[in-house]
Amino acid sequence: MIYLDANATTPVLPEIWDAMRPFALTQFGNPSSSHGAGRKSRKALEDSREEMAHLLGAFPDEVVFTSGATEANNLALQSALSDSPSSILASQIEHASITEHLKKLEKQAFQVQWLDVEHQGKASLSNLSDKIKTDTKLATLMLVNHETGVLQPIETLGNQLQSKMWVHTDAVQGTGKIRIDFHRLCVTSLALSAHKFHGPKGIGALLVRRGSTLKPMLFGGHQQKSLRPGTEPVHLVVGMALALKLAMNNLEARRNKVALLRESFLQELRKEVADFTINGEYNPMLPFTLNLGFPGLKADILLMRLDMAGVACSTGSACSSGSLLPSPVLMAMQVSPEVLKSSMRFSFGFHLEEVEVIEGAKRIAHAVQSLRNHAGTTE
């Protein structure tokens, strides 16, 4: 299999697995226990918290461990708002863990002001003042889009609004790929997930600025100052912290390699496929993601053909890939109907080799040509 779906998840690196194993097999004490085994687990937990805080420009007490970014996003949104309906500012290209929460709030009389999106995939702040209401309590904008890889202007938004309201950013597709300084972003909270940067699944974090009040979604435990109760999975936390450390220590080397892989992929694809578009091409984007439209084809059919050919990719976010509805991100970008229904997401991990991406491009080209030829003979 040629794996071109790194935005969905990444493999745990061997050295990370090796670091996790002892805390699952031999050093398995409950970090809340007062005996020696518990104290060892507690130290590993807090060392990991300090490591992550250092790498992300935060204070250790601003790091709250969660089960992943979906929980972290929901926890942030819940904490930012009171029970009384108010206004919310959000982009139309957020992850489903944000947009679905906001749609639920709309049914409860909250008003969501949606930021416009430029044709190339960046949220527009040009009419920001018109979107802000006297009762706006929350603004949320992701750091990097999960379908296009386009960088979003969260730092600009945070600079303008953080002193006035809760500002949240979903940093899932940026963590481990670009340098993040939590305080410099001027946001109140930031969500991340370990399995997007070669850590384990089932663990993530919410960074919450000092002085901000979290409203826990769970009750019945004192862990993490009762902000997120429940026994902490020390082995997963250790894996996440090491994964982040390795990612940040090798940031430029990984990004440069992926940029070369992306270019090799595109060069090979252009040899065989004349008609395809790169969604978001003319905005600053990270090299890890390519969203391509193949006019004349249907993405779901192409996806099945590529799966049969041994190429793993997606039609959008992994959390929404089971949906038959068009991509909300591409709809917000107002791409043409032909591009909308034919777009695929290819995302690259640094563990790939050039020979793999070139072979992947060849298989994609063959599938596209085959489907187009078939469509031509049946018209």
Q: Report the alpha-carbon distance of residue 113 to residue 91 in Å, rounded.
A: 8
Token reading at 141: 């904008």
Single out the catalytic residue among 217, 251, 301, 319. Answer: 319
Query: 182-187: long-range contacts (C-beta < 8 A, 24 or more apart)?
Result: 182/56, 182/57, 182/58, 182/62, 182/207, 182/209, 183/57, 183/58, 183/209, 184/57, 184/155, 185/154, 185/155, 185/158, 186/155, 186/158, 186/159, 186/162, 187/154, 187/158, 187/162
Cα atoms in the Cβ-side hemisphere of radius 13 Å centred on 47 = 13
Closest to 178 measured CA to CA, from 162, 195, 196:
196
Residue tagged 């049946």 (tokens): 378
Q: Which residue has the tokens 């930031």?
A: 190
Quick one: 85 exposed, middle or buried, by C-beta within 10 A (0-12, 13-18, 19+)? middle
The residue count for the chain? 379
74: left (phi over 0), alpha (psi -120 to 50) or beta: alpha
d(CA 183, CA 193): 19
Neighbouring-strand partners of residue 113: 89
Given a contact cutoff of 8 angstroms between Cβ atoms, the answer to whether 207 and 58 are in contact is yes
Q: Tell me if residue 186 is catalytic.
A: no
155: number of Cβ within 10 Å: 17
Cα–Cα distance measured from residue 150 to residue 51, given in angstroms and rounded to the nearest whole number? 28
Catalytic residues: 319
